Chains A and B, each alone.
Chain A
């Protein structure tokens, strides 16, 4: 019969795989149509034009790397924190767009039609991803051996 600790380890593994799958899928979706993703990013009216394409080029490899890091136990901690940071960033951008009354395609999982209901769904997805990443991160750091106390 599995104890609490091994159950929690299975939960960490399951959440890591799920979050990694979402991030790797999202990264691949953005690589396919970078121009449309750049237009979606510009529609948020947050980043200045000089940073939009750099963001568009860097984000897909970053998301894919997050997925890979989450799947490998020794790097899971950093991958989880990276996912938490990016999810928080996406959440802030989407929430700000919704508050400003914008209707846009967030480009989170490839190209789509601008839609406010979809923006709300993606906001919820970001919240779930953030919660999952924080869970994995906190579990990973509590399992890291603490430094030996000073004599």
Chain B
């Protein structure tokens, strides 16, 4: 059997192993790197399992997060939109006022008048002094009018829409009641009754 030390091919290897002896207990650099890579793979698996566990925990919680993040403003808008999205059959009977009472409140400016119709209808004609808190754009309008509304939190508020069978005024009134406004009522005659009585009207997009 030939002596391997006499083979010139092994000289280089031998020289290296003598020059750089491996420290005791420390794995070879290549196997160390390989171990770190394997461990990082395990960390990645741990991350995936944790995400799955997090999704399950979130789903079973009382107030689960949506998968996509919403800013506080978006959450507030969504909450407001939910408030006015109740189907008509669930509308609780809100306090109502007749034309005479409504007219006197408008003329004396003793109440905050809110028009719950879409802005297009509001711009074509509305009760003088009324502000547009449209049911179909409630979140946006509510934020626009936040200052005025907060100032009127203890004042009487009267909401109207087109009149007749329209539900917008009741939905907005109920939303305001659930937001903490204590004195909210609905003028059931709405814009139809106001204009039919030949009472003055304002035009434009003033809110």
Q: Could you tell me if A141 and B27 are in contact, using CB atoms closer than 8 angstroms? A: yes
When distances are taken between beta carbons in the complex, the residues of chain A under 8 Å from B42 are 78, 81
Task: For the complex, give the distance between the alpha carbons of A41 and B70 in Å.
Answer: 12
Q: Is the CB of A81 within 8 A of B51?
A: no
- Complex: how many Å from CA A39 to CA B26? 45
The CA of A147 and the CA of B50, in the complex, are separated in Å by 31
Q: Are A147 and B54 in contact (CB under 8 A)?
A: no
Measured CB to CB, the closest approach of chain B to A148, in angstroms, equals 11
Interface size on B, residues (CB 8 A): 32
With a CB–CB cut-off of 8 A, which chain A residues contact B58? 34, 57
**Chain A interface, >50% SS class:** helix
Contact B47 A35 (CB under 8 A): no
Residues of B within 8 A of A (CB): 25-28, 31-32, 35-36, 39-40, 42-43, 46-47, 49-51, 53-55, 57-58, 61, 63, 65-72
CB pairs A–B below 8 angstroms (21 shown):
A49-B70, A53-B66, A53-B67, A54-B67, A57-B51, A58-B51, A58-B53, A59-B50, A60-B54, A65-B46, A65-B49, A69-B46, A81-B36, A81-B39, A81-B40, A81-B42, A81-B43, A82-B46, A141-B27, A142-B27, A146-B27
